A and B are shown apart, each in its own frame.
Chain A
């Protein structure tokens, strides 16, 4: 039996499909393949007649050039189809991280009822479990969805679409949906990268949830040194699904990079509708913040310093007897030292004064942390918060041991 006449064409078909990634299948290639088969056949000596008679197998016919061409073409079509599907899949990017932690809080008490702040807080929990879906069909548009899935439920953190103009080097981008307030540094710095468990008190208080709904225009120019972000937002954050007042808030940041030093100036102008003891429907209170932030990669190897100062006006709580907002003020400062590529020692100090016209009500925190980067995806953080309230300082220090995996 002339076995080569069957094996060679089959091998050619298999090889051609395997190498189709790198080589365009052309008629010339097909003709060459067929010619090689014919040439190969010519070189194979005739097998003895006896051996041929000894088998009862059905004799396969040698594929013709047209059959080979058809097979190769079908392989080519299947390959193109698979590649198109793969390219579509590549446009969808999924990233995420999970933070599993144990917290020991001095305020904890064994209690079945009562306010959450006084219940047992010493526990294991999943602090954040984020999945970020990004679909980018072209460089000029992007879809981003980021839910946070924890034992408390599923909350939408980011959900926006972006359009980037392709005509200038600034790449001005319009973002619409739910996104981080473009204010300062710490709000926009991912919780997966932050070197301490939570944001500073001033940021947590003045920008709860760090996000709002609206539209934002942003860009980066002057040799990637100057950046701007300006947004019009509801002003309610994400905790409420409803905007109670007609006015919209304006927030923005202008940043400049000097290389090792980055500076930014931010402003927020808006209002909050708050019920008072004398107006149950609520009245508008000024909601203002202005701040400056600095990040410095110092000449000392692996040492980074960061700071931000924020001042402004904050609406009081519902049912207030006040008719004007409170003057608030706060700051934070980070010192981060890298020891090699795997160890980080961090200290953050922060301060928040909820009413600068009232004495002895500021809260200060010193927060030393140690981070061990196990590999490119996972890290372990041990952190202790010394919390000091100016008047009547309670026992409320917090220890956190956290394991994070990101991808």
Chain B
């Protein structure tokens, strides 16, 4: 047992935190109010080498381990970078680029990874459909082999980055009767005939990421764009779970640290009845609960990351614990932060308001809390 970070990891976290606070966080409020993806923020993330963080250096990445990736997400959230920008970063880096790196051919890696790592291209991943969320194996998007091409038909929804993406890793079935065994992954480039994206959705939170539907109408994808083999899609999608339960959660934990810092400052400065509100136990309770949440959630998130770094198989119980706890209780804590700020917390000008809207996504995206409980209870009942 050893819970220490290496000096390199600590230094990296500090650097990213300072950079996020000085360079990125000041841009977030405006972008959030507009509800728009910010290319300026994207550029900043790229300049710091964050867009290719886990990818190897020879392909333009930074070669970071999973713990370091989590530290970056946590540091940026802590610095006050909004959930949407970090979601855009996460979807691009972990769901698109990492999948291409892990399952792609040498040619695919060479073509996509350097451009994704530099941020020149923006990536996204398409799994969810209007009719299939948690039950992804029932997807309807089809891929039919025709000569040296696959013809894709169907639509995807809630695709983070889709309106701005240059590359999508998309899942389609080559045979619906085979259910999950028929699911196959493809890399599709923007501009491919038959590929189009819908209007950006208006979202409740994580507004600096842009999200839309994706349509495939007799979209011809060359067979060299197959990611992995036919029928490998399900395994590829599941491999994303490790990222979902660690690196993609870490920004939310970081946002909770940011929320706690804001609340602690406010509780010291805000006076009512001739004393700072920190003296009221009702306020203290919320502060303490936030701190406990942060410690527990960090342990859960970094456990998933550490086991991936150590080459261990994903423990689905541990992964689910990380997701369900950080998601559900993180949202509760973001609500308590608004409560400490009272009326001010209800105003856009105060970041706890944005945190509250952003936090809700953690219990929905990448497997809802209900699905996490289903996974845990099924395993328990099997043992």
The yes or no verdict on A and B being binding partners is no
